[in-house]
Amino acid sequence: MSELTCDSRVLEASSAGDIIEIAFHGVHEWTHGGKMQRFIQQTVMDVDPSPSAVVINLLDYDYEAGNDISGLFDAFMDRKRHRLRPCCIVATGRTHGAMYPFFASARILDTFRLRFVPTIQEALTWLHNEVAQ
């Protein structure tokens, strides 16, 4: 069984709401989805004011397939402000190859203000433009 580790940090502080990073580390197993979802929910609820944007860092997470990635949707939903918040998923290699088609095929990228990018810096660049709108 692969151990899932989770951590978070503020990437940029702002009075309008911080841009936070939520990172997952490990090799995907079907049991991870619920744990990831609970960690995301708790992390975004603990930030006050609500985060203006979220970066999901999967650079150290090896994902192959499975429907348990639906827990990532909690990063997009701002339950305090009753809106969708912009979000970037930072992923490369097999993880990107397995996840991106799922999100792209259902038009989720535009609907949820979501982008896949290969680096944290590219995530911040895109999110600055989205948060400014």
Closest to 41 (Cα-Cα) out of 4, 86, 76: 76
CA angle 21, 65, 103 (to 5 degrees): 60
Q: What is the pLDDT of residues 60-83, one digit of tens each?
A: 999 887 666 777 777 777 777 777
DSSP-based helix, strand, coil % in the chain, nearest 5: 40, 30, 30
- Name the superfamily (CATH) of residues 5-128: STAS domain (3.30.750.24)
Rg of the chain, C-alpha, whole Å: 14
* Averaged pLDDT of the chain: 86
d(CA 85, CA 62): 25
pLDDT of residue 56: 95
Q: What is the pLDDT of residues 47-63, one digit of tens each?
A: 877 888 999 999 999 98
pLDDT of residue 132: 79
Domain ranges of the chain: 5-128
d(CA 52, CA 19): 6
